Amino acid sequence: MKIKYDCIVIGAGPAGLSATLTLGRARRKIAIFDNGTNRNRVTRESHGFLTRDGIKPQEFKNIAFKELESYPSVSILNETVIDIKKDDQKDLFLVNTSNNKSYVTEKIMLATGIHEEFSFTQMKQYYGKSLFSCPYCDGWELRDKPLAIFAENNEHIIHLTKLVFNWTKDLIVFTNGHQISNKVRCDFESKNIKVYTEVITNLHGNNSNLESIELESGEKILRSGGFVVPSFYRPNKFAEQLNCQFDEKGAIITDGAGRTTANGIYIAGETEKSRPSSLMTAAADGNKAATSINMDITIERFQNIC
């Protein structure tokens, strides 16, 4: 007979870990699934999380796992979830993993996060080491250095360049073949920010540390790091398969406290809006969604006593 969990949390990033801790402390029987694909695994340090600033992502995770071990109702499972099915008659979910195991639960929390895609694939080699997407997370470490901004539409170019300008005034923008408006170019040039619209043909560096950008003309521009605007996607279709509703921007619709439009399905962290967030924000989202799960279970069981 399969063990029945109160809630299965899929994804052991800060949102999933925070939710599991809250639910474990609420004496719920929880399983959290981790397959080691957290988005921040490629970076050397994580920043902005109070008391853990500069921590290595795996160390952050290991500390969280150690804390969860204090709660006997919590199970940590290093498996990949490949399928989730709803048993409407029993009002339960069946969670199947890649090693042919199945688990039963009353509630599901989706906290699988998002992944990046780059228009110039070589950026992946430098991403998390000398190229980053979040100035709040990594701008301090790159302060006053000669940096590159990689972005391809006016909105992204303006937003990221103005933001990074707080950390360094030595900026060059690379649009990889995309044009920008004359007004944007003029605004940037007034701040001594050059803009190159040529196609990028190569990135040069050593041990994932960026050194220069090579353009189609053959010109190489020296830069020691920078910020990039990737596109983001959810690495699975669980929300679609479970009939969660989406808004016109592709965000999963919730009540603001982690409940989706599909009964028994909750969501937290970057999975919800398919855009990046800080460790602190994701952890707070996980805590908030966990309190919704616990309250829903509490009310359902309290009502079914008689």
Percent of the chain with pLDDT over 90: 90
Residues 98 and 68 in one domain: yes
Residues 160 and 204 in one domain: yes
Residues 6+ apart with CB under 8 A from 19: 9, 109, 111, 268, 286, 287, 289, 290, 293
Q: What would the pLDDT profile of 67-112 be if each residue is shown by its tens digit?
A: 999 999 999 999 999 999 999 888 999 999 999 999 999 999 999 9
- Find the mean pLDDT for residues 272-277: 89
pLDDT at position 305, please?
60
The Cα 31–Cα 86 span in angstroms is: 17
pLDDT at position 283, please?
96
**Dihedral sign computed on CA atoms, order 115, 118, 122, 126:** negative
Domain that residue 61 falls in: 4-114+234-303
Residue holding tokens 């990028």?
Answer: 200
- Find the mean pLDDT for residues 122-128: 95
Of 228, 248, 268, the one marking the end of a domain is 228
Residue 139 pLDDT > 80:
yes
CA Rg value for the chain: 22
Residue 129 pLDDT > 90:
yes
Mean pLDDT of the chain: 95
Residues 15 and 54 in one domain: yes
pLDDT at position 306, please?
57
Residues 135 and 203 in one domain: yes
3-class DSSP state for residue 70?
Answer: coil
Residues 108 and 193 in one domain: no
Residues 284 and 137 in one domain: no
pLDDT at position 76, please?
98
Residues 83 and 27 in one domain: yes
Residue 302 pLDDT > 90:
no
pLDDT at position 39, please?
87
- Find the mean pLDDT for residues 251-266: 97
Phi-psi region of 265 (alpha: psi -120 to 50; beta: other; left: phi over 0): beta
pLDDT at position 3, please?
84
Domains held by the chain: number: 2
Q: What would the pLDDT profile of 45-71 be if each residue is shown by its tens digit?
A: 999 999 999 999 999 999 999 999 999
Whether 73 and 27 have beta carbons less than 8 Å apart is answered as yes
Residues 43 and 102 in one domain: yes
- Find the mean pLDDT for residues 126-139: 95
Residues 171 and 265 in one domain: no
Phi-psi region of 143 (alpha: psi -120 to 50; beta: other; left: phi over 0): beta
The residue among 226, 180, 185 whose CA lies nearest residue 203 is 226
Of 167, 195, 228, the one marking the end of a domain is 228
Residue 304 pLDDT > 70:
no
Residues 108 and 240 in one domain: yes
Q: What is the CATH number of the domain that holds 137?
A: 3.50.50.60
Residues 170 and 157 in one domain: yes
pLDDT at position 38, please?
87
Residues 180 and 137 in one domain: yes
- Find the mean pLDDT for residues 121-146: 95
Q: How confident is the model at residue 160 (pLDDT cuts 50, 70, 90)?
A: very high
Q: How confident is the model at residue 40 (pLDDT cuts 50, 70, 90)?
A: confident
pLDDT at position 44, please?
86
- Find the mean pLDDT for residues 224-243: 96
Report helix, strand and coil shares of the chain as percent, to nearest 5. 30, 30, 40
Q: What would the pLDDT profile of 181-220 be if each residue is shown by its tens digit?
A: 999 999 999 999 999 999 999 999 999 999 999 999 999 9
The residue among 142, 144, 146, 139 whose CA lies nearest residue 174 is 146
Q: How confident is the model at residue 261 (pLDDT cuts 50, 70, 90)?
A: very high
* Sequence letter at residue 85: K
Pairing verdict, β 115-117 and 231-233? antiparallel
Residue 126 pLDDT > 90:
yes
Q: How confident is the model at residue 1 (pLDDT cuts 50, 70, 90)?
A: low
Of 202, 228, 254, the one marking the end of a domain is 228
